[in-house]
Structure 1
Amino acid sequence: MDLKEIQNLIKFVANSGVAEVKLETGDVKITIRTTLEGSTETTYVQQMPAQNMLQQAVAPQQIAPVAATPAVVVDENAKYITVKSPIIGTFYRKSSPDKPMFVEVGSTIGKGDVLCVIEAMKLFNEIESEFSGKIVKVLVDDMSPVEFDQPLFLVDPS
């Protein structure tokens, strides 16, 4: 099973409303769990033959969801929506060094617009907006590491 098939499976499960899916094919085991908020948690484990296990340790890998999680900030920025990182990885404001930034301060965004890319385990995840508005502030520097639930952007929804 290749990475593209796994990504399609994650999207299908996230949109289906199913709580958990387990899939085993040959030497690959995949478990996808969805939470009440609709985000997914995927565990991807590849089994190795016994002789290779002695040579190297195998750890389960996490493939994180791609949808950004909006949350309301309770301080002086209370009127803004905070877009938070849905995964741990490296934050990029553009798809490649020779391309323009996805969004700038003052950019008007719509639902489904790509805000940034977060690289996790050599997988580049486009982070899409779940609402419309205007970018007020970019909270992370380009090519910086980000944590799960770390604020990335402030958006004025009006």
Structure 2
Amino acid sequence: MDLKEIQNLIKFVSNTGVAEVKLETGDIKITIRTTLEGNTPDVTYVQQAPMQQAMQAAPMAAPVAPVAAEVVDENSKYVIIKSPMIGTFYRKPAPDKAVFVEVGSTIGKGDVLCVVEAMKLFNEIEAEITGKIVKILVDDMSPVEFDQPLFLVDPS
């Protein structure tokens, strides 16, 4: 939905005298409320999924503090490495480079595992533990949430 469509929707709601209109399409939510005196619209616009940006257009940020690792459950020997921020997950430092880690890769404390792009800054996510990558839980170039599991690691 572009700006022109939103403006037309606001004008339409203002002219009809409707008190409130809610519209949800895909990852966009719009709420338009009009006041009784003068029908001045109050617009709330929310876009839930972050837009993916071109990796080469943005600078690399300083490495983020190591990510907290968490044991999956009491009976499991695996540890989950989670995202420290909201952003877009990238397995490579650049489109033409090799991935940081693969399933089966041995990692050490401080090794870069991936990059999470947030607000056009690429943040290197470093390992806090030593071990072996058992599973990569997120697809390349996918949006990730704060505290979302990224990797499953065998620390033994």
TM bucket, shorter chain: 0.5 to 0.7
Contact 1:66 1:125 in 2 (8 A): no
Secondary structure of 1:142's aligned partner: coil
Higher relative contact order (CA 8 A, sep 6+): 2
1:68 aligns with 2:67: yes
- In 2, Cα distance between equivalents of 1:130 and 1:156: 13
Given the superposition, is the C-alpha separation of residues 75 and 144 from structure 1 closer, same or farther in structure 2, using an over 3 Å criterion? farther
Counterpart amino acid of 2:121? L
What is the correspondence of 1:60-139 to structure 2 with a 5 Å cutoff? Answer: 65-74=64-73, 78-139=76-137
- In 2, Cα distance between equivalents of 1:75 and 1:131: 18
Contact 1:93 1:115 in 2 (8 A): yes
Secondary structure of 2:132's aligned partner: strand
- In 2, Cα distance between equivalents of 1:69 and 1:96: 25
Q: How many residues align?
A: 93
- In 2, Cα distance between equivalents of 1:92 and 1:133: 21
Aligned-pair identity in percent equals 74
2:143 equivalent in structure 1: 145
- In 2, Cα distance between equivalents of 1:143 and 1:107: 20
Q: Would you identify which runs of 4 or more consecutive aligned residues in structure 1 move more than 3 Å?
A: none
List alignment gaps of at least 5 residues for structure 1.
1-64
Counterpart amino acid of 1:146? V
Highest CA radius of gyration, 1 or 2?
A: 2
List alignment gaps of at least 5 residues for structure 2.
1-63
Provide, for residues 121-150 of structure 1, a one-character-per-residue CA deviation record: whole Å limited to 9, x for no partner: 111000000110000000000000000000
**RMSD, aligned α-carbons:** 1.3
Contact 2:66 2:110 in 1 (8 A): no
1:47 equivalent in structure 2: none
- In 2, Cα distance between equivalents of 1:98 and 1:66: 26
